Amino acid sequence: MRIVVLESGKGGVGKSLLSATIAYLISRIYEKRSILVGADPSSKTIEFLLEGKEIPEYGWIEYLTTDYLHFEEIITESTVSDNLFVAYSTRERILHGEFEDPNVVAEKISKFKDYIAKTGDFVVIDAPAGLSVDHLLYTLMFDAYVVTTPLRPDIEGAKNFVYTIEKEARSFGISKPFKGLIVNKVVNEREAYSTAEELNLPLIAGIPYDKEVEKAVERRRLPSDKSKFVQSVYKVVEHFGFKAPKAQVNIVDALLKIFRR
């Protein structure tokens, strides 16, 4: 069982696509029940890439802020892959003020974690972009990873995000709340390492810029398994405890290499 949350300092860094791809690969390649929680309603990526067979009446935020909903009531099976389920959200933030008690939310998350522990599912939470009190809650209660690109505006957004969350986390006795950093749309490996060094976070993976990704999203599909994007995401999945699949060897190519020696 594992629950991870992907967060970012600003939108447009590819966080939702990365979340969807991780959930998809784990469900299809590793045949493990995978759940993608769409907690970022400002992004429609999850809705059209991992289309559910039906849209539940309630979503993730309603589940967290009410005491009567069961988690099974808010998830739906995806049409994209077996063992893949999706939970949608209808609002951007969990905590909107006096009408929602943080203690209720924290208690519901604890029940959610107990439920996932019993089922053995793998869960990816696509958190809202930007910065709010919700992110502190997510970061403290799940395995949190930051997603950014090497572009200067994205790095600055990530810097502010990481600094603020780390500062608040220290008041709870946690000095390093983030598990690591994923740098998307890099030109080379050096960009990924320099971004991680600037943010002072462990580098999990650098995902190369891939034109095929834009084309796939325009067609409302996940990128091809053979794309540079997906091949790099395997490194992220491997970090989560899944062994990367062995590359398939083309027998004809292998024989040709032998005869050319």
Return the domain boundaries, the chain.
Answer: 2-260
| Rounded (10°) CA dihedral 35, 39, 42, 43 | -20
DSSP 54: S
pTM for the whole thing? 0.88
Start-to-end C-alpha separation, the chain: 47
Q: How far apart are CA 24 and CA 1, in angstroms?
A: 16
The domain 2-260 belongs to what CATH superfamily?
P-loop containing nucleotide triphosphate hydrolases (3.40.50.300)
Output the pLDDT for position 29: 81
Q: Are 10 and 153 within 8 A, CB to CB?
A: yes
CB atoms within 10 A of CB 252: 8
Q: Are 27 and 84 within 8 A, CB to CB?
A: yes
The amino acid present at 131, given as its one-letter code, is L
Q: Which of 193, 240, 122, 159 is nearest to 167 (CA)?
A: 159
Output the pLDDT for position 8: 95
Higher per-residue confidence, 82 vs 5: 5
Task: Extract the tokens encoding 173.
Answer: 């006795």
Q: b vs e for 119-146, b when ≥16 Cβ sit within 10 Å of the residue's Cβ?
A: eebbbbbbbbbbbbebbbbbbbbbebbb
Q: Which of 193, 139, 194 is nearest to 164 (CA)?
A: 139
The mean of the pLDDT values for the chain is: 86
pLDDT digits 0-9 by tens, 93-129: 676 654 567 777 888 888 899 999 999 899 999 998 8
Q: How far apart are CA 49 and CA 124, in angstroms?
A: 15
pLDDT digits 0-9 by tens, 175-221: 999 999 999 999 999 999 999 999 999 999 999 998 888 888 788 88
